[in-house]
Amino acid sequence: MSRRSAISWLPSALLAVATVAALIAVPRSQPVGEPVGATAHADHSVGAARVERIRTAPGPGQPPPGGKARPDARDVVLAVHGGAGAALDRETTTPAREKAYRDGLATALRAGQDVLDEGGSSVAAVAAAVRKLEDDPLFNAGKGAVFNADAGHELDASVMRGSDLAAGAVAGVRGLRNPVDGARLVMEKSKHVLLSGEGADDFGARHGLATVTQDYYWTQARWDALIRAKEAERGSKTAARSPEAAADEQSRGTVGAVAVDREGDVAAATSTGGMTNKLPGRIGDSPLIGAGTYAKNATAAVSATGAGEYFIRGAATSTVSALMEFKGLGVAAAAYEVVVERLPRLGGTGGVIALTRDGVFDAPHSSPGMLHGYLTEDGDVVTKIFPDESPANT
């Protein structure tokens, strides 16, 4: 019986005693969770009956998180992000548009929850969640991928398993419907970690993954974004901006997921269409293990979004893990140090979602906003799409 399911039957009084004793016994340098003295929470079985509750974050006026060492939430089993950037503006986002983004995040979380409720692995859960985001044209991955400078699509994705550090990734794929499935396939069916281009497309097709032609990825909003980028290169400022195009600008970025399963194993996955008007062949941080994705049971599962070149140079996600393992930081303090202190010195902004096997979750970002949401053990879904719901860390 796993630790997470076993602890759920303890009477509340016994649980309180056991929790306090455990906190006293844990050394200050413990790599997972938060520093000694953090509030303890009881674990619940992931497979418990689903409670259909969806919550949004508090509205305007919510103060920023109080202190860099405090996590955003506990008792989390799954989290997703839909990209860091300017987020969505309350004044210009229509109710229908808001609902579409919240529904997109919630649908991804419910897909991952279905896997966890059936006893599936954290790898399967993050893949299921990211697959939903790849199929949603609102997000810059899969169907909604941006165009490169040649008006084509090149997609990247990666997956990592925390129990044994197994990982797989694809870069520059042009014909896989769901690049995250290609990344998982590389991890589970090859001796490699990263395949790129035509080789990655062929590998996926040979193993039965769904393939598409380039026109599958086309969306009007992404095409408009490319045209505006081309005109900006020529110094023009006259490009028309539809509400959809404005939302595209506000929510540009990567998608990703982190999860912990019944066995206490964590996993992370990340997928992206890259940057609008990028040079053909450009590869960002999303398919690079240790930059855009990292997972280790002893520390955390981390998925990143933001200015990819800086996340590569800063080895963003593996540094979060290393700070927890070697410096003894909690997940919130480690993620804050990387995202808010280290990467901006290099010139890059963005954010991460990070989750420990104990369900401690944090989502710091130095960009004005980051679309993300999480699922708790009790079945609550929380989505955050506006800057006042998730203030930038400073």
Of these residues, 93, 254, 349, 376, which one is catalytic?
254
Burial 73-97 (b: 16+ CB within 10 A, else e): bbbbbbbbbbbbbebbeeeebeeeb
| Burial annotation 274-303 (CB, 10 A radius, 16+ → b, else e) | bbbbbeeebbbbbbbbbbbbbbbbebbbbb
Spatial distance between the Cα atoms of 155 and 166, rounded to a whole number of angstroms: 21
d(CA 358, CA 303): 17
For the chain, what's the residue count? 394
How far apart CA 381 and CA 256 sit, in angstroms, is 16
Main-chain phi, psi angles of 381, to 5 degrees: -110, 125
Nearest alpha-carbon partner for 175 in 217, 122, 139: 217
* 254 catalytically annotated: yes
The string of DSSP letters for 206-233 reads HTT--B--GGGG--HHHHHHHHHHHHHH
End-to-end CA gap in the chain: 42
Residue 210 CB: number of other CB atoms within 10 A?
12
Q: Which residues are the active-site residues?
A: 254
